[in-house]
A and B are shown apart, each in its own frame.
Chain A
Amino acid sequence: EAGVTQFPSHSVIEKGQTVTLRCDPISGHDNLYWYRRVMGKEIKFLLHFVKESKQDESGMPNNRFLAERTGGTYSTLKVQPAELEDSGVYFCASSPSGGPNIQYFGAGTRLSVL
């Protein structure tokens, strides 16, 4: 069974540009999460989808970040316009409904904003 996959693995963009990150969760997982780790800091929660609905977006830093999960399958996270402080590693995770909250993580997308 495929795990959580993220694309691209690395993105280098200039300040002011737009970048879209994609996450494909494990098939059948209703819950999808985005996290990010900026340099030297903790991994921080961004938001949580249950199917296509945003359950908790309390961690989204500002309105330059837009997450979508149309159809309740894969999700995208768009940063527009990107700023230098957005650089970091963006992780996606998924988990099934019910049972213990065991989240399975992707390898992450390393975003470098120059």
Chain B
Amino acid sequence: GEDVEQSLFLSVREGDSSVINCTYTDSSSTYLYWYKQEPGAGLQLLTYIFSNMDMKQDQRLTVLLNKKDKHLSLRIADTQTGDSAIYFCAETPRGYQKVTFGTGTKLQVIP
């Protein structure tokens, strides 16, 4: 299957941590990604994780991968108003080049 599921909306206060969750169904996925889309802009690759890793940290971003449960999360520390955007979880199934996206989670940061 190629379903990638995310909650549609998340609201956090500025300075708090945000955690965006995603579940996927294709256990053969080689790469898993988080993309960010700001209003009127394209998709910006935030970070990616290879399927043989379980964690990746990049400044304020932490990605956790639980392959057993097919669960991917993105944690944003010290969330800022500039982090308000839609965040897409995505995967590349093994043997393919195409990227399969989730529906996106709209993150609203309240000042």
Residues of A at the B interface (CB closer than 8 Å) are 4, 31, 33, 35, 41-45, 48, 55-56, 59, 91, 93, 95, 100-108
Contact = CB atoms under 8 A, between A and B. Distances in A.
A107 B40 CA distance: 7
A101 B31 contact: yes
Nearest to B102: A42
B24 interface: no
Contact of B31 (A42, A44, A100, A107): A100
Nearest to A9: B40
A91 B4 CA distance: 19
Contacts, number: 56
B45 A102 contact: yes
A56 B45 contact: no
A31 B97 contact: yes
27 contacts: A4-B42, A33-B99, A35-B99, A35-B101, A42-B4, A42-B102, A42-B103, A43-B101, A43-B104, A44-B101, A45-B98, A45-B99, A45-B100, A56-B96, A56-B97, A56-B98, A59-B98, A91-B42, A100-B31, A100-B48, A102-B48, A103-B99, A104-B45, A105-B35, A106-B42, A107-B40, A107-B42
B45 A42 contact: no
A41 B103 contact: yes
Interface string B78-111: 0000000000100010001111111110000000
